[in-house]
């Protein structure tokens, strides 16, 4: 895993979350789950998502944060609207992002997946810089984890139907997959 020499992507800002644990023995990473998050809702660029994943969020910081201070959640990656990518959990460890989830008949997707949060919301589009960063990171992850493929990149709503809706209807799956396939094709050409 040349781009992840110690489990941390060489191109991401490293922010170590305490909210993770070991993957089950024999678990292979074969799923990438895309989420969307903004704290407070529809406010971008602030410190609150970072604080949530680091376990330092103070509910009194904003009225919309009530009830979130005790959550123990994380993701492997967070892509800001600027395209800046932060990493919170070593890719060899299990981040706590999927919750109650099912994929291919297998329950509890955290053990087999990587969680990637995009700064955004269901009712808001994503930036070009985010799509570019997402494609770049997805290529690196697919190189590092051979069981991960274009068809195994899903939204949170796909593994937690009825409970979650992100990344939402404004995430352009066609744009993302076309750019990812084009990037993968460029990377494999002689």
Active centre residues (catalytic): 117
Strands (E), the chain: 13-14, 20-22, 31-37, 77-79, 85-87, 93-95, 102-103, 106-107, 113-119, 153-155
Tell the residue number behind the tokens 């919750």, with chain if given.
99
Q: What 8-state DSSP symbol labels residue 45?
A: S
Helix (H) or strand (E) holding 188: helix 173-188
Which residue, 160, 55, 178, is CA-closest to 115?
160
- Do residues 16 and 88 touch, judged by C-beta distance below 8 A? yes
Instruction: State phi, psi for 34 to the nearest 5 degrees.
Output: -95, 130
Q: Residues near 60 by Cβ (< 8 Å), separated by ≥ 6?
A: none
Structure tokens at 190: 């002689």
């Amino acid at each position: 895993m040349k781009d992840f020499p110690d489990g941390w992507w060489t191109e991401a800002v490293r922010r170590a979350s305490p909210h993770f644990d070991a993957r089950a023995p024999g678990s292979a990473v074969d799923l990438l789950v895309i989420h969307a998050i903004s704290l407070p809702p529809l406010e971008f660029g602030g410190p609150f998502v970072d604080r949530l994943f680091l376990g330092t969020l103070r509910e009194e910081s904003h009225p919309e944060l009530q009830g979130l201070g005790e959550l123990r959640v994380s993701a492997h990656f967070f892509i800001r609207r600027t395209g800046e990518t932060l990493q919170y959990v070593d890719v060899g460890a299990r981040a706590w992002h999927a919750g109650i989830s099912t994929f291919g008949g297998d329950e509890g997707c955290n053990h087999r997946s990587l969680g990637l949060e995009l700064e955004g919301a269901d009712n808001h589009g994503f930036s070009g810089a985010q799509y570019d960063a997402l494609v770049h990171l997805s290529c690196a992850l697919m190189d590092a984890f051979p069981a991960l493929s274009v068809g195994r990149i899903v939204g949170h709503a796909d593994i937690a139907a009825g409970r979650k809706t992100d990344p939402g209807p404004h995430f352009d799956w066609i744009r993302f997959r076309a750019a990812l396939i084009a990037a993968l094709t460029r990377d494999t050409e002689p």
